[in-house]
Amino acid sequence: MNENEITNINSDNEPRQASILGQGKAHSKIILMGEHAVVYGVPAIAMPFKAASVSVKISPSKTNRSWIESDYYNGPISLMPNDMANLKKVMELMLDSFNLPQKGLHYRIESNIPIGRGMGSSAAVSVAIARAIADYYDVELSDYQLQLIVNQGEVIAHESTSGLDTLMSSTNDPVMYQKSEQPVPFSLNLKAFLILADSGIEGQTKKAVASVRQLFEERPKFVKEALNSIERFVKLGYQAIQNRDVTELGRLLTYNHYYLNQLGVSHPSLDRIIQAAWYAGALGAKLTGGGLGGCAIALAKTAKDAELIAEAMQLAGAKQTWILNLESE
Ligand code: MEV
């Protein structure tokens, strides 16, 4: 979604609803290792990123029309732009799956997750919508049903999806995740800091996933070898986390980036930011999420190192940076 193209067709301004009867929340995510490869069954390591979150509140609509009120679009659901089709799908599936009345609802979406930065904004909004509908109608929504319904929306947003974004926006622990397998939660508890840097360039997960698929069709041997290497790095990365070996983890993050670059999903601006992190003393750095823009991560040993690295990433073009203490994750 393009933040510059904020649509507002609220000409007949539906009045803000006073009573809020349903509420759902979700948060952003950071993929430490294994993005893209995870679509092909390779495990990935990811953690929730709660500083960026979304809340959806539902109240009865004053008219019979269902309505969305958000910074991105404000208007009837029937006229939502195409790039919100995933949200519409989730609403329809929720109402149909639980045999809920199709009456007018007013959805108010509040989100501070940057859109199109590989931070799982679309999955998080969908999860919050599904949870708000369940809360509004007081129905029991199991984690399994939630994943199933939101992933249908994600298929529209990204075509192929591993389901990782959906899981991470609704889960509270870091996980080792493999498609169609039960996710393995763990605690990071590392004496290290993670810097998340937003390149400010809109990432294009759908395009990136499609381009990896095309590369796979054109050069299957090359892509299979890359996927095998990423799988090895992810497994070693998980071991490094268990062994609290942050130097080894950093090296593996960087290796993972080389291979993502080979798969064609990095971006010159991201590479500049990542290189700046390396030069500033990061233990490792890579793109995170869908790529072709979006965000990068870097690993630092101390809080002071993290600040210097974040500064270097900003000087190299990052528009916003966050520092996370991994001892408390
Ligand atoms: C996007 O955040 C992660 C990808 O691996 C896609 C997916 O897992 O569905 C690129």
Nearest in space to 43 (alpha carbons), one of 199, 244, 237: 237
Dump pLDDT digits (tens) for 25-42: 999 999 999 999 999 999
Q: Which of 73-82, 158-167, 233-242, 295-304 has the lowest mean pLDDT?
A: 158-167
Question: Which pLDDT value is given to residue 282?
Answer: 98
Dump pLDDT digits (tens) for 270-326: 999 999 999 999 999 999 999 999 999 999 999 999 999 999 999 999 999 999 999
Report in angstroms the alpha-carbon separations of 93 from 1, 21, 86, 149, 223: 22, 20, 11, 6, 35
The arithmetic mean of pLDDT across residues 188-205, rounded, is: 94
Looking at ligand 1, which atom is closest to the CA of residue 290? 10
Question: Which pLDDT value is given to residue 62?
Answer: 83
Residue 295 Cβ inside 6 Å of ligand 1? The answer reads: no
Cα 160 to Cα 173: distance, rounded to the nearest angstrom: 24
CB 26 within 8 A of CB 124: yes
Question: Which pLDDT value is given to residue 249?
Answer: 98
Question: Which pLDDT value is given to residue 196?
Answer: 98
Average pLDDT, the chain: 91
**Where residue 13 falls among pLDDT bands split at 50, 70, 90?**
low
**pTM, 2 dp:** 0.90
Residue 204 Cβ inside 6 Å of ligand 1? The answer reads: no
Dump pLDDT digits (tens) for 143-191: 999 999 999 988 887 777 899 999 999 999 999 999 989 999 999 999 9
Does residue 7 have a pLDDT over 90?
A: no
Does residue 18 have a pLDDT over 70?
A: no
Cα 293 to Cα 139: distance, rounded to the nearest angstrom: 39
* Cα 165 to ligand 1 centroid, rounded to whole Å: 7
Looking at ligand 1, which atom is closest to the CA of residue 29? 2
Question: Which pLDDT value is given to residue 14?
Answer: 56
Question: Which pLDDT value is given to residue 19?
Answer: 59
- Going by CA atoms, what residue is nearest to atom 8 of ligand 1? 162
Residue 118 Cβ inside 6 Å of ligand 1? The answer reads: yes
- As to burial, measured by CB atoms within 10 angstroms (0-12 exposed, 13-18 middle, 19+ buried), residue 160 is middle
Rg of the Cα atoms in the chain = 20
Which of 31, 127, 175, 212, when mutated, tests ligand 1's pocket best, judged by the most ligand atoms within 8 Å of its CB? 31
